[in-house]
Every structure is written in C-alpha cells, then in structure tokens.
Amino acid sequence: MGAALSTLRSAAHNVANANTAGFRRETVHQRTAVGGGVAVDVRPAGQAGHALERDVVAQRLAMNAFLANLAVFRASDAMAGSLLSLRV
C-alpha cells in the first residue's frame, strides 16, 4: 500500500507542476525489499518537461493497486474473525 501511495503522490505532484517552467518530473522505481514487500525510490526524471499521459495512467494503476491490497486486508480480517469465532 505504501508503494501505491508513493506512486500516487508522485504522479499528483507531476500533474500539479506540469506547467512550471523547467520542472523535472519525478519517477517512482519499485523493487523487491529484502525480507518481503516493496521498496520505493523516487527520483527526478532525466529531462525537464511533462508527460501527463504517463502520470494519469500511473494514478489509475496506483489506485487499483491500493484497492487490491485493501481487499486482501479485508479478506484476511474476515478470515481471522471467522477463525476466532469457532467454538471448541
């Protein structure tokens, strides 16, 4: 969820500053973290300028990743609740 949030923040930052002279977009790089999960690096893009189409797609992908992770947490919570309500 943290990686999706970082991607969403970066894309929103890029869209908000698209018309700023000399603005350099942020890019988000995700990699597998040691011990599990995802590590995120936010870096400036190689050249100045905007890429609104990339940023809009990144926002949608981040939103869907966040919602998918939320569904996993909800299912896990429901399963744990069912397990705890069993009587011996």
Bridge-partner residues for 44, per DSSP? 26
Q: What is the pLDDT of residues 13-38, one digit of tens each?
A: 999 998 988 899 999 999 999 998 89
Is the sign of the CA dihedral 73, 74, 79, 82 positive or negative? positive
The DSSP call for residue 29 is: E
pLDDT of 17 reads 92
- Domain of 61? 2-84
Q: What's the pLDDT at 57?
A: 93
Q: CA 3, CA 57: separation in Å to the nearest integer?
A: 15
Instruction: State the chain's mean pLDDT as an integer.
Output: 87
Which two three-digit tokens encode residue 53?
A: 């189409």
Low-confidence ranges of the chain (pLDDT < 50): none
pLDDT score of 88:
52
Instruction: Work out how many domains the chain is built from and give that number.
Output: 1
Encode burial over 5-44: b for 16+ CB neighbours within 10 A, e otherwise: ebbbebbeebbeeeeeeebbbbbbeeeeeeeeeeebeeee
